[in-house]
Structure 1
Amino acid sequence: MHTANALVLGLLGSLALASRPLSSNELASKGTTPALPLGLWKEAKRRRRHDDGARGPWKESQTGQLPFLSRPKPSASCQEHYFDQLVSHDPHIPSTTPNETWQQRYWFDATFYKPGGPVFLLDAGETDGEGRLPFLSQGILRILSEATNGIGIVFEHRYYGKSFPVSDLTTDSLRFLTTRQSLDDGAHFARNIVLPGLEDIDIRAGGSTPWIYYGGSYAGAKAALARKLYPDVFAGGIASSAVTAAIEDYWQYYEPIRQNGPSDCIDRLVNHTSLIDSLLAFEQPALTSALKGYFGLGNVTSDADFVNALAIPLGSWQARNWDPSVGSTRFFEFCDTLTANSSSVHEVDLFQPAQLAALPSLPKDPRKALASFAAYVSYVREHVATLCPPDTAQDDCFGTDEYSGDELDDYEWKSWAYQFCTEWGYFIGAPPDSKHPSLVSRLLTTEYTGKICRKAFPPGDLNSVPARPNVTAINQYGGFNFSYPRLAFVDGSEDPWIYATPHSPLAPHHGHRHSTTSEPFLLIKGGVHHWDENGRPSPPEPEEIQRVHREDVEFVRAWLEEWREEQREKERKRRGRWRWEGEGRERSRARWT
């Protein structure tokens, strides 16, 4: 063991560094990464404020949904509005006063509306709803509204953006944040909304106007749930990258990356990760300290926090998009660094085969692999370690023992954390089977990744977080087998969330479920996370995205015609019943006269 330690210490001491640093915008973009610690999120937030006006064209939210910050300032036709929403729809979780309300934010565009046209409600999901406004001007809402003479609405989720039914985010105040309460918000809104400027038009659900629910990711799952739970309110639903299966240990997040990433890069990363785990397993303080130090993370106390930081670059896979103006190429830059031939690590040649054999988990081609390992170290030092300012302790940036913040402004990390701790799970780490190849350290267990639930949400007087998320609350409605008439599922074949969708390789019907007009089942080849949500008039979208958008329009038009025929049939039956009842009354009077 001593010989192996000396060799590794010598190797790490020879590593050279060369790569460009992250910009403040790219620092903000790290929010998509499951590995992003709260300390780094707060640093990203501080830098965003400091660099106001200098941000790039996109950022990612806690779960990787794209708010598309390249949007123009909202026009007069897309002003924010507020709806009087009920604090609680659940009598078992009553509000402080009966029928208490709060202001829920929304936006709409009626540019293409003609009488009788549908309403498309886009659920903004777990982010600031303002980031969804480009979908009104050039995304899915624009595409569907223009094709059907409809109205597009962006609907902000409770406990996000500016839509709060409470004054703080203590555990007790979070008691109204459930998936069902948010679904009830949408149904109540659809049944009662009167749009400003269109007061003379009754578009409320349940009448003569059909409503279609759209969402992506978590909001995609909500679109599916809304269609099934409120079929009288929503005539159809489009569920994009819909995570309809809540999964506590979601290690499969990294599988689409492992399966579809550049093979040489993935092989090297798997080997590097295994090597690092083996070195840490020696439990030799000098070796562990040197290993962390050469990655630029020498002052990260916890081994698990150290390897968690190494996983941060993997989050950029989800940030890819077919439109380069809103997507990221960072993942492939990371891979290019790992696989580039390195001429600056000639010190590796000093090691003889017999000496290299003393290293644990040695790859087949040690010199090539160790050169790549040097490049990996360089990348982490320049792109991860530097996320922490020089005047801040690394444990404050990369540590996971301190969780605080009950202000509404902390919703960006706290609201979704509460939701996955209570209902959804999705603790993302290494595979439970040690034989399964892993891109991340085996130290990233559910015990580690679920730590936030125990530390961020202390029990209150009225509410507490369960020991384990109640995934049954979600999965009881269908999970992988979720289906319903006039409900579409649209997924990307390379989406890290595909294992939680009906397109999941874990689904019982995998490979055998067919797409129909009533229940479209579409897969975007090479697509990642809800790639059908954004669009652009010019230059043209890629053919694969154009195809999906054409199919969206075709099946929505068919749904609307089917829904209208159903309404006509209901009206015919209603009139027939009135005639029958009227004739019955006439016959009854005739018998008694």
Structure 2
Amino acid sequence: MLLASALLAGLASLVVAEPLLTAKALLDGSPALPLGLHRRLRIQEQVASKGAEGTGWPSSSEQLSFSSPDEGHDYPAHTFNQLVSHDPAVPPPQPNATFPQRYWFDASYYKQGGPVILLDGGETDGAGRIPFLRQGILRILSEATGGIGIILEHRYYGSSFPTTSLSTDDLRFLDTRQSLHDSAHFARTVELPGLAHLNLTAGGSTPWLYVGGSYAGAKAAFARKLHPDVFWGAIASSAVTTAIVDFWQYYEPIRASAPADCIERLAENTALIDSLLSLNSSLVTPSLKSFFGLSNVTADADFVNALALPLGSWQARNWDGTVGSSRFDAFCDALTGNTSSLSTPARPIDAALLEGLDGLALPKDPRKTLASMSTYAAYVKEHIAALCPPDELQDACFGTDEYSGDGLDEYEWKSWAWQFCSEWGYFIGAAPEGTPSLVSRLLTLEYTGKICGKAFPPGKLNTGVSSMPAVHKINQWGSFDLAHSRLAFVDGSEDPWLYATPHSPIAPNPHRKDTLRRPFKLIKGGVHHWDENGLPPGRKEPREIAKIHRAEVEFVQSWMREWRERGRWRWGVGTGAEDGEGREVARWQ
């Protein structure tokens, strides 16, 4: 008992200090998923969360990913009987079969005529979005419009499963179009408990707005285009509207926005490590891996994949320090020689590595690069390698060859893996030759995409994934050019997903006109869907966040005025003409 108490106390204290790495950050930012490490981190976080329940400590997932340690007594979960399949080409096991899809709502700000604001839970447990209902974007907009906020959990995530396993056959009902139909069917038919007398369903007297961030942000944009009769407006935050197979650009916003000295050191270290590995030396390679505390990682690609894990902490940054991570700053400190993030001193470069440098093209400042490599290695040894306990094989923690498990409890990695393998791509690896790379060039498309064949073998009812994700299924809906009336895009200038959004530097028109009817907002210094979280009363938001929240209230209120005036106007159909604010040409009814 004392040992167990000490373990819980130790884990809880680690949470307070900020975890070295979270399971979610591992999913978000690693080029190839080391599944063994992900499972170990999830177990630790669950233990820490249980240990923190009686102490007031937040869980690690709450601290870093907006999630709530429980569903909250003020927002109980409800279920909606959702159709297993909306696609006749993929029939359900029985005609009109349904499954219980979870949702949460808050009607405390509702006033007659107010909208229903649906937030898509996206590729995570929907309960983790409750802070957006309690104090974030749903509360902000509901207060401003007299609306009702709803969180709808995505099929195959959290507790909303239409099948009993995640086998390849049972994943046949998981795709973006099915989930878009889920949202439309929910909006058209749901009766909110205690509010059935208000006739709140879409297509009637109540406007519905769709809100989402990241993948769910793309869905919000697609829903506005594909179901304009259901959703009066939509806010697409950090919306990845373009599916990209080889998404090496994930690292470009980091390369452009992180401290220049840190990025220069990282690029030089990465190139030098690649050069040392290319020697294929039985002396140099083991010495290099040992230097970083990863001596028992067999595959060179798995080794450099582990070195890339700290970069995922860039996406975990947030304007609110209680939900964001400062881990990237500590990583940069180590690269640039500030050892305050290390509890043990960096050791000198191994003699074998120095001998391996003979004949290699060295960086312009070898002394500085080698000093940086020493603190870089010390950081990885202390903060990454240490995540694998001494009694565990490092290949079991950092290997990327085993992706087994069909149980529903595997959804955290497997459901989204199915989606990116089948439709979205986003294999995050090295930059092409000629562009400085922050990660090893061993992180090829073949390496980062191998999870698809290993995790999803062909089934009897579902052939599995093809050799390349069918990104055309997503990009047919508009890609970079997607636009619609009452569709807002809100992105962050430093978001690693920027290059998949309409604000992408490679988009045909990344500087669209920003209007009330077609808002096009870029949060300066913002990262990933920074507009969706908010603060409880009494805390003041940073200027840029307060500014974007005011703008969102302004354009949503203007959309509501349009809704109220719609009976007085008949909007021109098919003319293509618009006024200076992006409004369609109209005439009196």
The answer to whether the superposition gives a TM-score over 0.5 is yes
How many angstroms apart in 1 are the aligned matches of 2:449 and 2:505? Answer: 25
Change in 2 beyond 3 A, CA 1:270/1:54: farther
Equivalent in the alignment of 2:438: 439
- Within 5 Å, give how 1:379-458 maps onto structure 2: 379-432=379-432, 434-458=433-457
Equivalent in the alignment of 1:212: 209
How many angstroms apart in 1 are the aligned matches of 2:459 and 2:553? Answer: 48
How many angstroms apart in 2 are the aligned matches of 1:24 and 1:241? Answer: 25
In percent, how many aligned pairs have the same letter? 62
Equivalent in the alignment of 1:583: none
Indicate whether 1:367 and 2:363 are aligned: no
- Within 5 Å, give how 1:24-35 maps onto structure 2: 25-29=19-23, 30-31=25-26, 32-35=28-31
Contact 1:224 1:237 in 2 (8 A): yes
Q: Secondary structure at the match of 2:283?
A: helix
Equivalent in the alignment of 1:479: 479
How many angstroms apart in 1 are the aligned matches of 2:357 and 2:398? Answer: 33
Change in 2 beyond 3 A, CA 1:58/1:520: farther
Indicate whether 1:256 and 2:253 are aligned: yes
- Within 5 Å, give how 1:575-586 maps onto structure 2: none
Equivalent in the alignment of 2:179: 182
Equivalent in the alignment of 1:124: 121
Letter in 2 for 1:318: Q
- 1:25 Cα offset (Å): 3.9
Q: Secondary structure at the match of 2:151?
A: strand
- 1:26 Cα offset (Å): 3.7
Equivalent in the alignment of 1:521: 520
Contact 1:24 1:48 in 2 (8 A): no
How many angstroms apart in 2 are the aligned matches of 1:24 and 1:44? Answer: 13
Indicate whether 1:273 and 2:267 are aligned: no
How many angstroms apart in 2 are the aligned matches of 1:358 and 1:553? Answer: 62
Q: Secondary structure at the match of 1:404?
A: coil
| Cα offsets for 1:364-412 (capped at 9, x unmatched) | 2222221111000100000111111211111111111111010000000
- 1:436 Cα offset (Å): 0.8
Indicate whether 1:497 and 2:497 are aligned: yes
Equivalent in the alignment of 1:3: none
- Within 5 Å, give how 1:28-107 maps onto structure 2: 28-29=22-23, 30-31=25-26, 32-35=28-31, 36-54=33-51, 57=58, 59=60, 67-69=65-67, 74-76=72-74, 78-107=75-104
Equivalent in the alignment of 1:300: 297
Letter in 2 for 1:34: S
How many angstroms apart in 2 are the aligned matches of 1:257 and 1:84? Answer: 43
Contact 2:110 2:142 in 1 (8 A): yes
Contact 2:70 2:127 in 1 (8 A): no
Change in 2 beyond 3 A, CA 1:287/1:555: same
Change in 2 beyond 3 A, CA 1:472/1:60: farther
Equivalent in the alignment of 2:530: 531
1:197 to 194, 199, 206: 194
Q: Secondary structure at the match of 1:328?
A: coil
Equivalent in the alignment of 2:460: 461
Change in 2 beyond 3 A, CA 1:349/1:428: closer
Q: Secondary structure at the match of 2:209?
A: strand
Equivalent in the alignment of 1:577: none
Instruction: Please provide the CA RMSD for this pair.
Output: 2.4
Change in 2 beyond 3 A, CA 1:299/1:357: closer
Contact 1:316 1:330 in 2 (8 A): yes
How many angstroms apart in 1 are the aligned matches of 2:158 and 2:64? Answer: 14
Indicate whether 1:245 and 2:242 are aligned: yes
Q: Which has the larger radius of gyration?
A: 1
Indicate whether 1:172 and 2:169 are aligned: yes
| Cα offsets for 1:298-335 (capped at 9, x unmatched) | 11110000000000000000000000000000000110
Change in 2 beyond 3 A, CA 1:562/1:360: same
How many angstroms apart in 2 are the aligned matches of 1:214 and 1:411? Answer: 23
How many angstroms apart in 2 are the aligned matches of 1:66 and 1:197? Answer: 34
How many angstroms apart in 1 are the aligned matches of 2:228 and 2:235? Answer: 13
Q: Secondary structure at the match of 1:102?
A: strand
Equivalent in the alignment of 1:552: 552
Between 66-75 and 421-430, the greater mean CA deviation after superposition: 66-75
How many angstroms apart in 2 are the aligned matches of 1:136 and 1:478? Answer: 29
Equivalent in the alignment of 1:112: 109
Q: Secondary structure at the match of 1:200?
A: helix
2:155 to 154, 158, 167: 158
